[in-house]
A and B are shown apart, each in its own frame.
Chain A
Amino acid sequence: MRRILEVIKKDMKLLMRSKLSSLLMLIGPLLIVFMSGVALDTQTRFNIKVGVFSPTYSALSNSYIDSLRKEGFVVDRLGSEQECIDSVRMGSFHACVVFSEGLRVDREYEGFINFYVDYSQINLAWIIKDILFTPAEDKMREVSKDLVGTLLDFITFTTTEISAGKPIVNRLTTINDKLSSSLTAASSFIDIINPVYDFNRFKITEFRNTIADVKTRSDVIALRSLTKFQEVQSSARNLKLTVASLNDPQVSSMLNPIIDDMIQNINSSIVAVTSDKQALSSSTEALSARLSDVEKSIAEIKILLESIQASKEKTLSYMLTGKQDTTNMLGDIFLVQKSLNDIERHANEIRILSSEQITEPFKTEVMPVVQEKTSMAVLFPTMLAMIIMFISIVISSTLMQIEKNSSAHIRNLVAPTKESVFGFGSYLTTLIILFVQVFIVLAIISLAFSSSISGIGSFLSVVLITFLSSSVFIILGILVGNILSSEESSSTVAILLSLFLVIFSGIIFPIEGFSAGVQNVLRLNPLNLSEYLFRQVLIHGSSFSEILFQMSLLVSWLLVLLIVLVAMQSFLSRNDLGINTRKTIRRKSQKQEKAEPEEYAKLKNLIDETNALLSPKKKISKDELSIAKEKYIRMLSLYQQLDKKSKQRIYDDLNLIHKKLSSF
């Protein structure tokens, strides 16, 4: 443990060797996060510049432009469509909107709104497209709503009119029936009409003769009456004369009035008769005239009757036709009725009578899964994951290179410290630096931008994710540092590896844009996993169980990389100096055997010395032989003290000595 701490201390000092570089290394990520927070701690939309063009702007296109401006876009009108498109290509504008000439909704008119977006700005293109489309969709929805509203009004009007008209149609049917019946009845009545008359029945001639006869007789009568009256009158007068002659005043007074009255009466009667006669004569004349008139009338009536007959026939004919027409009309009325019923039924089947509901049958709204966040809050998990990745890979690979390229490396190899201690120490060094940075970042975020990020409460989850993702990237960095031999190449590869992970993580280009097979692979990208986990915890406040699967993937990454690291270290070849790298040295250095037991060493020495004494090259003296024998006895004593293995090793040499001595 102490050795690990020493390694960590040493690594920290190595990394902090240059105060400026150490400051940048520690403060850099913090500065990035802080400045990003200040810049992005806002919910305002992107400052998108949109160029628009239309050969002729209409109220509709102007309305859309106004809605864009209300959304916060900077909108400028350009001179031509090509200019508009070029402006997007050159980056002067983020998007170009081209309206057809005089954009409007008309039966005879086919308008368009074209959007030009630069998809090479992948990160912005989707957002622009989405944001620009929304006002266009709103506008189209608005227009659709109006049109649909008009249609619905018309349908409602139609339904109302149909409802109002149906009774009329029903009445028409009834009327038609009645008409038909009336026609039938009228036909029958008209048919009854027989405008034929035997005017001879009037016996005009006879009547005329009768009139004449009457006139004659009346004349005769009148004449006779007159004559009589005149006679009477004369009688009366004669009477009066008689009376007068009577010269009886009483009788005269009594009879004269009477006679006068009588004479008066007779005069009156005469007059009356005369006038009657005249009158009668006039009357007869008038009667004749009337009779003539009657004759005329009869003639006219005859004509009339003939015309009536003709009319009757015509009328009957027309009635017949009319009846047929009414019959036909009835069929048509039924058809109309059916059509009206159908129209009414279909109109009633239209349940949705709201233009809003038709143009937008389903309310579509992009609802935030969590409350609306600032841009900083949205970007922070990604930023954090990327910082951890870059720092982990770069620092760990740098530490490996410092270690490898340092002149102290060889001393580390000799030190009686396991290679894993050095590796683990470097790993812990990087981890500590990362944790310090992450916690400072989180502290800054929670203090300065606390409204943005709500998930800091899941402290343990954040710690665990930081640990796992850091560990994965640190080991990647260690692998890079181990494989490569120079700090420059290691840094380059570390950066390239980081870039590779970023590009294929969905941060720049959505993973969903790749093919399905590739997507499945890319989802395993550790940067993608870390970013996802941080986002889940920091923004969505997910619980541990909800992110367990992704955590386990990171753990798998960790295990796999550890295995790769261990395997790689086993197969690392010697460097040019012939020095095996750490672990193999540590393990293989067991070849350097522990020293033989002291007795064994002594025995060996004795054997060497005795061999030297008994060297066949020279003549052996008695003293030397004696010394050799003494040595041999000591050898035997030492031999007894050895373990079995040592005995086996030394036996042959000892046996040789024995044989040599035996030969003397």
Chain B
Amino acid sequence: MTILQVKNLSFRYRKGFSIDGISFSLKKKDFLGILGVSGSGKTTIIRAVAGLVTDFSGRIFLGFEREKLGISFQQPSFFDELTVKDNLAYFSRISGRHNRNIFEKNYAFLIDFLELRRFEKRPAEKLSGGMKRRLDIAIALINQPEFVILDEPVGELDPILRKKIFVLIDILAKRGCTFMITSHILYDLERVCNKLLVVNDGKQMFFGDSSEFMDKVKQTFKTKIAFSSAEDLNKMKAAFKDSRLVFSANTATMIHKKDNMQIKELFYFLEKESIKVSEVRVSQPSLEDIFVKMVSNEERKE
């Protein structure tokens, strides 16, 4: 059953940034990962789905009651002056779904799972960044939502806690919860998301199964060449300045499909100019590489 459907979502901020033509749909228990660089429009999409922006064009269909939405924003959102417990109690009660017994149960579970028990009586402002993030997530999950939006949920967490969060997400997903999550840590998205939405500069680059996206990854290669001298590097830069080569300190990298012509040209040039290289590595690009390439429009040029 479709739990969320977004059709041609477009929105323009006063300051000029906009998202345009975003369309995707989610079924129950789907786990959507939204991928994009900072300022690409991820948060805007989340806000539109959450109902925080309303002057958009397009349509958004919600297959759930608003009371059953749990949301954790990129910036932790709670009352600094209230304690952990007070914050959870407050947001539970104003959600309109508060049930004391359920709350007590959920509270106990989340507090312990997220290792906040020791700090439950501490004012939120006195928590560390990681604790704040956990509290924010706990607030999102306190009322057993059916649809959860997590905006950069694990950014400030250590790997262990990060893993714990995803375990929690897993547990909830198994209970029938649908997730929409943004993260810069593509590895995490890769692990948990079954759907992927890639946005760049407000435009939708990709939406579909993450496996489909990974298939794309598999069809591409990443070639990395390390140069011995700066002079040689500069020669390469001069010769391939309009190419898709990405130059860094002493390397040149390109992600390409098999039998890419430009790679052939590159090796030909190396040989012709007798440029000395210290290393040549050809590997399978990571999701991040694919993503970087995608957003730098290399895929389009191909």
Interface stretch, picked from B29-37, B61-69, B181-189, is B61-69
Decide if A413 touches B52 in the complex (CB within 8 Å).
yes
Q: Is A349 an interface residue (CB 8 A)?
A: no
CA of A604 to CA of B5 in the docked complex: distance in angstroms?
11
Query: Within the complex, which residue of B2, B69, B93, B94 is in contact with A595, where a contact is CB–CB below 8 Å?
Result: B2
Decide if A3 touches B94 in the complex (CB within 8 Å).
yes
Decide if A13 touches B81 in the complex (CB within 8 Å).
yes
Chain B minimum-CB-distance residue to A595: B63
Known contacts A3-B94, A407-B77, A579-B47; A416/B86 CB under 8 A? no
Chain B minimum-CB-distance residue to A14: B81
**Would you give the shortest CB distance from A252 to chain B, in whole angstroms?**
195
Q: Is A369 an interface residue (CB 8 A)?
A: no
Known contacts A3-B94, A580-B55; A596/B81 CB under 8 A? no
Decide if A417 touches B96 in the complex (CB within 8 Å).
yes
Query: Within the complex, which residue of A417, A576, A592 is in contact with B94, where a contact is CB–CB below 8 Å?
Result: A417
Q: Is the interface of A mostly helix, strand, loop or mixed?
A: helix
Interface residues of A in 541-599 (CB under 8 A from B): 574, 576-580, 584-585, 588-589, 591-596, 598
CA of A414 to CA of B47 in the docked complex: distance in angstroms?
9
Query: Within the complex, which residue of A2, A414, A421 is in contact with B50, where a contact is CB–CB below 8 Å?
Result: A414
Cβ contacts under 8 Å, A9 to chain B: 90
Decide if B98 touches A579 in the complex (CB within 8 Å).
no
Q: Is B291 an interface residue (CB 8 A)?
A: no
Q: Is B80 an interface residue (CB 8 A)?
A: yes
Cβ contacts under 8 Å, B62 to chain A: 592-595
Known contacts A415-B91, A579-B47; A595/B61 CB under 8 A? yes
Interface residues of A in 1-31 (CB under 8 A from B): 2-3, 6-7, 9-10, 13-14, 17
Cβ contacts under 8 Å, A7 to chain B: 94
Q: Is A406 an interface residue (CB 8 A)?
A: yes
Decide if A584 touches B93 in the complex (CB within 8 Å).
no
Cβ contacts under 8 Å, A415 to chain B: 91, 94-95
Cβ contacts under 8 Å, B123 to chain A: 17
CA of A194 to CA of B87 in the docked complex: distance in angstroms?
149
Cβ contacts under 8 Å, B14 to chain A: 574, 576, 578
Chain B minimum-CB-distance residue to A593: B61
Q: Is A410 an interface residue (CB 8 A)?
A: yes
Decide if A411 touches B2 in the complex (CB within 8 Å).
no
What 1/0 mask marks residues of chain B from 22 to 63 whose CB sits below 8 Å from any chain A CB? Answer: 000000000000000000000010010011111100011111
Cβ contacts under 8 Å, A577 to chain B: 47
Query: Within the complex, which residue of B15, B65, B93 is in contact with A576, where a contact is CB–CB below 8 Å?
Result: B15
Decide if A10 touches B79 in the complex (CB within 8 Å).
yes
What 1/0 mask marks residues of chain A from 183 to 212 whose CB sits below 8 Å from any chain B CB? Answer: 000000000000000000000000000000
Q: Is B1 an interface residue (CB 8 A)?
A: yes
**Would you give the shortest CB distance from B125 to chain A, in whole angstroms?**
9
Query: Within the complex, which residue of B5, B65, B71, B95 is in contact with A596, where a contact is CB–CB below 8 Å?
Result: B5
What 1/0 mask marks residues of chain B from 213 to 256 whose CB sits below 8 Å from any chain A CB? Answer: 00000000000000000000000000000000000000000000
CA of A588 to CA of B56 in the docked complex: distance in angstroms?
11
Q: Is A408 an interface residue (CB 8 A)?
A: yes
Query: Within the complex, which residue of B51, B54, B78, B81 is in contact with A414, where a contact is CB–CB below 8 Å?
Result: B51
Decide if A408 touches B53 in the complex (CB within 8 Å).
no
Interface residues of A in 401-435 (CB under 8 A from B): 406-417, 421
Q: Is B207 an interface residue (CB 8 A)?
A: no
Q: Is B75 an interface residue (CB 8 A)?
A: yes
Cβ contacts under 8 Å, B2 to chain A: 595-596, 601, 604-605
Decide if B5 touches A601 in the complex (CB within 8 Å).
yes
Decide if B78 touches A411 in the complex (CB within 8 Å).
yes
Cβ contacts under 8 Å, A602 to chain B: 1
Interface residues of A in 306-320 (CB under 8 A from B): none
Decide if A585 touches B51 in the complex (CB within 8 Å).
yes
| Count of A-B residue pairs with CB < 8 Å | 127
Cβ contacts under 8 Å, B11 to chain A: 578
Decide if B52 touches A591 in the complex (CB within 8 Å).
no
Decide if A3 touches B96 in the complex (CB within 8 Å).
yes
CA of A407 to CA of B80 in the docked complex: distance in angstroms?
8
Query: Within the complex, which residue of A406, A588, A592, A601 is in contact with B79, where a contact is CB–CB below 8 Å?
Result: A406
**Would you give the shortest CB distance from B18 to chain A, in whole angstroms?**
10
Cβ contacts under 8 Å, A411 to chain B: 71, 73, 77-78, 91, 139
Chain A minimum-CB-distance residue to B98: A2
Cβ contacts under 8 Å, B98 to chain A: 2
Decide if A592 touches B82 in the complex (CB within 8 Å).
no
Interface residues of A in 243-290 (CB under 8 A from B): none
Chain B minimum-CB-distance residue to A406: B79
CA of A344 to CA of B54 in the docked complex: distance in angstroms?
101
Decide if B75 touches A416 in the complex (CB within 8 Å).
no
Cβ contacts under 8 Å, A584 to chain B: 54
Known contacts A6-B90, A580-B52, A592-B60; A410/B15 CB under 8 A? no
Decide if B1 touches A578 in the complex (CB within 8 Å).
no
Decide if B63 touches A580 in the complex (CB within 8 Å).
no
CA of A409 to CA of B78 in the docked complex: distance in angstroms?
8
Chain A minimum-CB-distance residue to B78: A408
Query: Within the complex, which residue of A3, A409, A593 is in contact with B59, where a contact is CB–CB below 8 Å?
Result: A593
CA of A406 to CA of B87 in the docked complex: distance in angstroms?
13
CA of A576 to CA of B79 in the docked complex: distance in angstroms?
21
Cβ contacts under 8 Å, B285 to chain A: none
Chain A minimum-CB-distance residue to B149: A414
What 1/0 mask marks residues of chain A from 509 to 531 whose CB sits below 8 Å from any chain B CB? Answer: 00000000000000000000000
Cβ contacts under 8 Å, A406 to chain B: 79-80
Cβ contacts under 8 Å, B47 to chain A: 577-579
Chain A minimum-CB-distance residue to B89: A6
Known contacts A407-B77, A416-B67, A595-B2; A10/B90 CB under 8 A? yes
Q: Is B3 an interface residue (CB 8 A)?
A: yes
**Would you give the shortest CB distance from A120 to chain B, in whole angstroms?**
45
Cβ contacts under 8 Å, B153 to chain A: none
Chain A minimum-CB-distance residue to B50: A414
Query: Within the complex, which residue of A414, A591, A595 is in contact with B71, where a contact is CB–CB below 8 Å?
Result: A414
Cβ contacts under 8 Å, B81 to chain A: 13-14, 17
Query: Within the complex, which residue of B51, B67, B79 is in contact with A14, where a contact is CB–CB below 8 Å?
Result: B79
Decide if B90 touches A578 in the complex (CB within 8 Å).
no
Cβ contacts under 8 Å, B71 to chain A: 411, 414
CA of A7 to CA of B123 in the docked complex: distance in angstroms?
17
Interface residues of B in 85-111 (CB under 8 A from A): 86-87, 90-91, 93-96, 98
Question: What are 23 pairs between A and B in contact, CB < 8 Å?
Answer: A6-B90, A9-B90, A10-B82, A10-B86, A13-B86, A17-B123, A406-B79, A410-B52, A410-B73, A411-B73, A414-B50, A414-B52, A415-B95, A416-B67, A416-B96, A417-B94, A574-B14, A578-B13, A585-B52, A592-B61, A593-B62, A595-B5, A596-B5
Sample of 5 more A-B contacts, CB < 8 Å, known A413-B52, A579-B47, A594-B62: A10-B79, A408-B87, A408-B91, A578-B44, A601-B63
A interface residues (Cβ-Cβ under 8 A, vs B): 2-3, 6-7, 9-10, 13-14, 17, 406-417, 421, 574, 576-580, 584-585, 588-589, 591-596, 598, 601-602, 604-605
B interface residues (Cβ-Cβ under 8 A, vs A): 1-3, 5, 11, 13-15, 44, 47, 50-55, 59-67, 69, 71, 73, 75-82, 86-87, 90-91, 93-96, 98, 123, 139
